[in-house]
Structure 1
């Protein structure tokens, strides 16, 4: 598996490197030791981070069950040490086992970095229920910000026939071939009677033999054309402006566990720093992961990042 966002390797520093399969030998030894030495059964879910010392420290995400009562389970963070070329149980030392909240989203590693695990846990549970089945009519979620199909221009024209509203295309975020073609797009919406009102919406429609059928128009972001105190300013563009890209890179240095590819900027809000609103392809880094389209909100002042799925 690929690493998370590129990191400057500091001697003795923690490196976020999420793996959900083909675990190293030391990892296997640690879980063998855990399952021999405790009244619990531990199942490895992911290796989250490593640290090179005189040997290697590991941070793992695992499922913990009570022997004889598999219904009761928890998710835990396990930190352990292993000698280089560990081959025996004595070469591994368990440092800590920390229970995680039931609604756990992030796991903190010892140096303060956070690794996103909510989707790893969710998809692990799905795999345990044997629900990871291929769906024949699954959406292709590849963002397009230019040279999109003519069907999309036709759909925007149909939308603009609606009284009181006007629409501009921002990006196509999904396509599905099903008795014609279903499309999912993100668009800018202006309210004609209130020139200062501007929103971002998620639109799904069907195209078949030149006919457009609008399925839904859902509000993603409600805002304004001009700055007002505490308000969201909508100013969409393809890609990220240079300053926003720098802020995004700064925030992502502190977050691992997912691949985030921004493709459009939506706007900003000045409040306790500056919230930046971005649309991105988001793929958690684990073997069951599926790409999704998300509204990503970052704030470089407090290094925060939030995700809301759009599609």
Structure 2
């Protein structure tokens, strides 16, 4: 394979982020874009010297190898299933699906196909979280407990953000990223005590969760949808034996080396967000996996696992049973 030929479904903000990055890769050719807003698709396609497609079949017939799904949450499952049926490799932005049932069905479908499928959990490639992961892996910090928060300022812009039928629910938006960080940094969740309520919006917009992981770690996870964008709205604190790791969104990360010892800090504020948020690396790795027919670092099974956590949270609150154990 000389150049990987790419088609993008969804030409909004995140779709254009991926297009900008992919257009900088010498081994990638952007063939086309499709969007329900055909005029926007035309403008974006023109910018990247690409075509406008009406459906995935047209993309396949034009020679596309890879489909990037960057459309609204509720459309991801159908597009992903169709792309796989057409024999296309898939990069699917988070959330992979907005229901656990669909996530499991997608995982089953992928087992039938010899195709590459990666989920867009970009935090795994962000500078601050890679620093944390390295310190945990090399034993500098042996996690014992944790605190995590992932807030959002509002659900007003874009206006559909508070529509659960459109997004799957608030937890499927930004919060999903840090559920994935729990698993990637610390381990799989075994049980939770989940509280949630509707404070401002029609969706459940305040969450407080106590977690126990399979490896014995305990911690808390909170998420508020109406926090006015006070920073840092995203923070992970990992506590070891008299040492700890902490980030301030994806701008800064700190490593407290012990009682009376120095704190090592790194500031990425001036780094372009596509780099520091991990988008460049996740795209580079995915394209390489397609070329080499390798399993990508964020698999469909990772997508299922994080959606299983979200599904359990909603069932706990809506079913009135706060204590849940995760299966699978």
Q: Please indicate, yes or no, whether the TM-score normalized by the shorter chain is above 0.5.
A: no
Larger of the two Rg values belongs to structure: 1
Q: Structure 2 length normalisation: TM-score?
A: 0.23
Structure holding more helix per residue: 2
Higher strand share: 1
TM, length-normalised to structure 1 = 0.24
Higher relative contact order (CA 8 A, sep 6+): 2
